[in-house]
Amino acid sequence: MDRRNRLAKLLLLQRRLKELHEAKHAAFLKEAAAAEKEAADLAERLDADDSLSALFPDLYHQRIGRALVRRDQNRKRAAEEAEKIATANARANVVERVHREAVRKHERLTEEKAILDLIERRLKPGGAE
């Protein structure tokens, strides 16, 4: 397998890795939003007149606190994934540039070889004129 093919496979791998981090980032943001909504819903119920929160206020506060902790944790994980996305994107860009250079070099060498073959045939006795 030549360098171009290895670089093409590496580029594909880098792009898939970036997509994986993007999917994880989106999932963490979704989970953070859900936890925030849960905390808001619980706080709304806590203030409602017909709520059982008067009987169990500590339970409501604990659940709200846990939801807010989950929100913060998921936001932190989303931020970490955003950094990984940036890193994967930078790596993919480098590999893509190197791959393009390898393809251009291969094409240039192929053209040079074809020209040399043509020149050799013309220089041989009885070659095409």
Question: What pLDDT is recorded for position 53?
Answer: 73
pLDDT at 128: 55
Return the SS3 of 68: helix
Q: Where are the domains of the chain?
A: 3-94
Per residue in 8-53, pLDDT tens? 999 999 999 999 999 999 999 999 999 999 999 988 888 777 777 7
- Per the CB < 8 A criterion, the answer to whether 91 and 13 are in contact is no
pLDDT of amino acid 129:
53
What integer pLDDT is reported at residue 97 of this predicted model?
A: 96
Q: Mean of the per-residue pLDDT values for the chain?
A: 91
**71 compared with 59, residue with greater pLDDT:** 71
CA distance linking residue 24 with residue 106, whole number of Å: 38
Instruction: Please give the residue that has the higher pLDDT: either 3 or 32.
Output: 32
DSSP characters for 5-57? HHHHHHHHHHHHHHHHHHHHHHHHHHHHHHHHHHHHHHHHHHH-TT-GGGT-H
